[in-house]
Amino acid sequence: MEKEDRAYKAHCLVVPFPTQGHVNPMLQFSKRLQRKGLKVTLATTRSFRKLSSPPSTSIALETISDGYDEGGMAVAENIGDYLDRFREIGSRTLTELIEKLSDLGHKVHCIVYDAFMPWPLDVAKRFGIVGATFFTQSCAVDNIYYNVQQGLLKVPPSTDEADEILVPGVRVPLRASDMPSFVSVPSQYPAFLRMVVDQFSNVDKADWIFCNTFYELEVEEADWMSKFWPLLRTIGPTIPSMYLDKRHEDDKEYGYSLFKPNSDACLKWLNERQKGSVAYVSFGSLAELGAEQMEELGWGLKNSNIYFLWVVREKEANKLPKGFAEAISEKGLVVSWCPQLEVLANEAVGCFVTHCGWNSTLEALSSGVPMVAVPQWTDQSTNAKYIMDVWKMGLRAQADEKGIVRREEIECCVREILEGERGKEITKNALKWKELAGKAADEGGSSDRNIDEFTAKLVQHANVHVAS
Ligand code: UDP
């Protein structure tokens, strides 16, 4: 360790927002930086560290405090209070951590921080070190929030589904139902809206802007952002190498997990199925479906008569339709969590019924698995729009006037992808995106070059600093 530490070229402190879908992409990015010769320390909150099982990684792990060490966001009065306290206690404990690392001989040269919390940039500036903001959502979604922040897009833009909304930096016209929910129904999520808009509050002062996407996927969107911030770089997808460019055999593990996967059961079951015959169904780590939606989804899957692997988190299991387990017999497997990347990489999986979280979207894209989009909230509707109409690698299941996707619609979309004519075209496109994602991350690919450029400039900066 001593020897390795002395060999590093510069030191990055990476500070993610404390949810699984934010920590893991930044951990993957950390691994890529480390492979380029940087020392990386990842600082999660104490509460996140307590609640999750840590990955086995050579990245140094440290903690800061969000002011809620015994439970994190879940025990805060509301998200607004949480963010305010995190800013206050987080700034102080991040400062202490930088001082501690410096005392130990590991001077920090750069803070890479999640754009959901803009305050680490102030800490970086106080120490005179480089500040790099990391956007964890798509550039299209970032551009929507930026337009809101600039007052160029009113909130909500329209509530009439017939209206086409043109947003600068978004290449397709959007309907109200394609907008991020924080923008389309702001009264439901005032604190979240403030958080996503505040991502841009001090971004002009950031030295670098990283986006977890890849250039070929969002050319127009990334170019539009780059007009304002020339040091914006696409560095994704942030997925372990063995599921992407396959350059590093030891890089297979995804990272932190708040839930324990039923890995053996899932993979054994999938290995007994034929190629492209299974629908994998998951709504990520946070979404809570209503009982009626769960029921429609369940019976839709059953009625499709297609094999399915459905992740229903333990807390959600009480919403499974009555008599469901007996009714599906060997056609379906319901688990409480699974190793998603391994599942998507399994050749039995032919489609992914997803809530369109950005990580799940990137993972499906990088694995070449077509999607049935069933977005729930936050940026998922915009991701669904792009999946269907821009990247043409999936279908969006239409909800009824109550906002519920009915069983017939689920059945129809799954069958269309696995058995229909459109499905063949969609699967072809999905494989194209898989190839492009792998190339972006591979040596000399767009994301790899961007990471090289950042590393080289940071090392230069660190050397100048040592010399002066
Ligand atoms: N995931 C997993 N096993 C599951 C379901 C999800 O490992 O059974 C992982 C998935 O690979 C992804 C993350 O959980 O990396 C979900 O992130 P996403 O952004 O898609 O959604 P969120 O959970 O933030 O809503």
Task: Spell out the SS3 assignment of 363-377.
Answer: HHHHHCCCEEECCCC
Query: Is the per-residue pLDDT at 422 higher than 50?
Result: yes
Residue 11 among the catalytic residues: no
- Classified as helix, coil or strand, 113 is strand
240 in Cβ contact with 28 (< 8 Å): yes
Q: Are 445 and 237 a contacting pair, CB within 8 Å?
A: no
Look at residues 109, 126, 137 and name the one whose alpha carbon lies nearest to residue 41: 109
The alpha carbon torsion through 232, 235, 237, 243 (nearest 10 deg) reads 180
Query: What was the pLDDT predicted at 412?
Result: 98
CATH topology of domain 2-254+442-467: Rossmann fold (3.40.50)
Q: Relative to the CA of 285, which ligand 1 atom is closest?
A: 23
36 or 53: which carries more pLDDT confidence? 36
Distance separating the N- and C-terminal Cα atoms of the chain? 28
Q: How far is CA 462 from CA 192, 451, 455, in A?
A: 36, 16, 10
The minimum-distance atom of ligand 1 relative to the CA of 287 is 25
The rounded distance, in Å, linking the Cα atoms of 168 and 165 is: 10
Of the listed 22, 109, 198, 355, which one is catalytic?
Answer: 22
26, 239, 285: which to mutate for ligand 1, most atoms within 8 A of CB?
A: 285
Query: What value does the CA radius of gyration of the chain take, rounded to a whole number of Å?
Result: 22
- How many Å lie between the centroid of ligand 1 and the Cα of residue 360? 6
Domain ranges of the chain: 2-254+442-467, 263-437
Q: What residue ranges in 362-461 does DSSP mark as E strands?
A: 371-373, 394-396
276 C-alpha to ligand 1 centroid (Å)? 21
Kindly state the percentage of the chain with pLDDT values over 70: 98
Helices 446-467, 20-35: axis angle to 10 degrees equals 70
Please report which confidence band the pLDDT of residue 4 belongs to, taking 50, 70 and 90 as the band edges. very low
Over residues 46-67, the mean pLDDT reads: 94
Count CA atoms within 13 Å of residue 266 on its CB side: 27
pLDDT at residue 5 is higher than 80: no
Q: Is residue 292 a contact partner of residue 300, using CB atoms and an 8 Å limit?
A: no
Q: Which of 66, 114, 142, 198 is flagged as catalytic? A: 114
Percentages helix, strand, coil for the chain (3-state, rounded to 5) are 50, 15, 35
* Average pLDDT score over the chain: 95
Tell me what pLDDT residue 139 has.
98
Pocket test for ligand 1, best of 73, 136, 340, 378 (most atoms within 8 A of CB): 340
Nearest CA to ligand 1 atom 6: 284
Using a 6 Å CB cutoff, which residues line ligand 1?
Answer: 20-21, 24, 282, 284-287, 311, 337-338, 340-341, 357-360, 363
pLDDT of residue 463: 85
CB neighbour list of residue 197: distance below 8 Å, 6 or more residues apart: 145, 148, 149
Query: Percentage of the chain surpassing pLDDT 90?
Result: 93
Catalytic residue list contains 389: no
- CB distance 207 to 111 below 8 Å: no
Beta strands in 312-411 (DSSP E): 332-335, 349-354, 371-373, 394-396
Q: What is the pLDDT of residues 222-250, one digit of tens each?
A: 999 999 999 999 999 999 999 999 999 99
DSSP 166-202: --TT-SS-B-GGGS-HHHHSGGG-HHHHHHHHHTTSS
Q: Whose CA is nearest to atom 1 of ligand 1?
A: 340
- Residue 299 phi/psi, 5-degree rounding, is -70, -30
Residue nearest to atom 15 of ligand 1 (CA): 359
Residue 465 pLDDT greater than 90, yes or no: no
Give the CA-trace dihedral at 184, 185, 190, 196, to 10 degrees: -30
Q: Are 430 and 369 a contacting pair, CB within 8 Å?
A: yes
Cα distances (Å, whole numbers) of residue 394 to 239, 368, 387, 414, 416: 21, 11, 6, 10, 10
Region of poorest pLDDT, from 49-58, 76-85, 396-405, 433-442: 49-58
How far, in Å, from the CA of 219 to the mean position of ligand 1? 25
Query: Is a pLDDT exceeding 90 seen at residue 3?
Result: no
**What are the structure tokens assigned to 142, written together?**
């970032």
Phi, psi of 123 (to 5 degrees): -65, -45
Backbone angles phi, psi at 174, to 5 degrees: -110, 150
Atom 21 (ligand 1) nearest CA: 357
Kindly give the distance from the C-alpha atom of residue 227 to the centroid of ligand 1, in angstroms, as a whole number.
32
Ligand 1 atom nearest the C-alpha of 356 is 20
Confidence category of residue 1, pLDDT binned at 50, 70, 90: very low
Out of 196, 282, 283, 360, mutate this one to test ligand 1's pocket (max ligand atoms within 8 Å of CB): namely 360
- Give me the count of residues in the chain: 468
Chain center to CA of 32 = 17
* Domains 2-254+442-467 and 263-437 are alike in CATH topology: yes
Higher pLDDT, 107 or 466: 107
Q: In 280-335, which residue ranges form alpha helices assigned H by DSSP?
A: 291-304, 324-328
pLDDT tens-digit map of 328-385: 988 999 999 999 999 999 999 999 999 999 999 999 999 999 999 999 999 999 999 9
What distance lies between CA 274 and its chain's CA centroid? 29
* CA-based torsion, 204, 209, 215, 221: positive or negative: negative
Distance 428 CA to ligand 1 centre (A): 24
Fold classified for 263-437: Rossmann fold (3.40.50)
